[in-house]
Amino acid sequence: MLAAVITEGQLQVAERPDPTPGPGEVRIRVAAAGLNAADLLQVAGHYPAPAGWPPDIPGLELAGTVDATGPGAESWLDRRVCAIVGGGGHATAARVPAAHLLAVPEHVDLRAAGAFAEGFVTAHDALVSQAGLRPGERLVVTGAAGGVGTAAVQIGAMLGAHTIAVTRSRAHHDALRDLGALEAILTEELADIAPVDVVLELVGAATAATSLGRLGPHGRLVVIGVGGGSRLEVDLLAVMQRRLRLTGSTLRSRSPDEKARAVAAAATDLGDRWSRGGLRVPVADAYPLAEVARAYAAFGHSGRFGHIVLEMP
């Protein structure tokens, strides 16, 4: 197989042996794989892969066709799938536990499916499992124009929440409303909105203090991104008085069983809607694997709407 390999902080395409699936695993012939902030951190040496995953091949999500299976996973053979992985997604083949797979609807292009799993499973886990978002509640999504943000806006709308998308620019506000946001505001307008029930914090410290301030009684703030800083001074008296709940979520470091439960929950709640065309994966740009360095550089620039995807030869 061909893979994007990290060598002394740089990416180069190199040949590696094809993986062999073990019991309960499949091998996916990868068609496309999304980029995520964790991939940039791994290349820079700040976010090593969990044990059992390739230490020098980044990539947390992918889509393709199952071309080999281990014992117990035979039912997945030849099926179009997408998956979350602990690493190794930016390659032409990947070994994945069958419990971490999602079936890709026939009408969905594999390029878009390559950026579905990480964003939608992460957003679903944060909003449903962590925050317990309910119909009629007010939801804020900061950093809403990114991959997880666009997924969260759609899930919030699906759950019947009054979803407010927050961005640094008005450029993508119409597109976010088209995905289901009832309001789209600038970061500097966040401090002026009426109290909300849930905040999905995708930016980090740069907006988290303001987000906390907008939570009403029994409000919940879930942190799943810290690109805008990871340290914050919190008024614990306000937390006590309003009975606030502050939590966080990542997928990569969880055990295989925990990931399987998160994938199963997302499949139950989102699978039918995705099959009926009710969920979309905005793709800002796609690059061939040979141009992986350009793709990573593009991901590092702000202002895009949706995902950047690697397409495999």
**Confidence class of residue 226 from pLDDT cuts 50, 70 and 90?**
confident
Domain co-membership, 169 together with 85: no
Domain co-membership, 200 together with 259: no
Two tokens, residue 190: 């966040």
- pLDDT tens, residue by residue, 193-221: 999 999 999 999 899 999 999 999 999 99
| Boundary (domain end) residue, out of 206, 223, 248 | 248
Domain co-membership, 128 together with 277: no
Domain co-membership, 240 together with 124: yes
**Confidence class of residue 230 from pLDDT cuts 50, 70 and 90?**
confident
| Boundary (domain end) residue, out of 201, 221, 248 | 248
Domain co-membership, 257 together with 307: yes
Q: Is-contact 199 245, C-beta < 8 A? A: no
Give the pairing of strands 25-34 and 61-69.
antiparallel
Read off the CATH number of the domain in which 237 is found.
3.40.50.720
Domain co-membership, 194 together with 179: yes
Max distance between CA atoms of the chain, in angstroms, equals 58
- pLDDT tens, residue by residue, 8-50: 999 999 999 999 999 999 999 999 999 999 999 999 999 999 9
Domain co-membership, 138 together with 286: no
Q: Is-contact 259 279, C-beta < 8 A? A: no
- pLDDT tens, residue by residue, 86-120: 999 999 999 999 999 999 999 999 999 999 999 99
Domain co-membership, 188 together with 284: no
For residue 52, what are the domain limits?
Answer: 2-116+252-311
Read off the CATH number of the domain in which 275 is found.
3.90.180.10
| Boundary (domain end) residue, out of 208, 232, 248 | 248
> Which pLDDT belongs to residue 229?
86
Say what angle helices 117-124 and 147-158 make with each other, to 10 degrees. 50
Domain co-membership, 232 together with 136: yes
Domain co-membership, 111 together with 258: yes
The domain tally of the chain equals 2
Cα–Cα distances (Å) from 287 to 1, 159, 171, in that order, read 18, 34, 23
- The whole-number average pLDDT for the span 239-243 is 94
Domain co-membership, 130 together with 156: yes
> Which pLDDT belongs to residue 301?
84
Domain co-membership, 12 together with 96: yes
Two tokens, residue 18: 């094809």
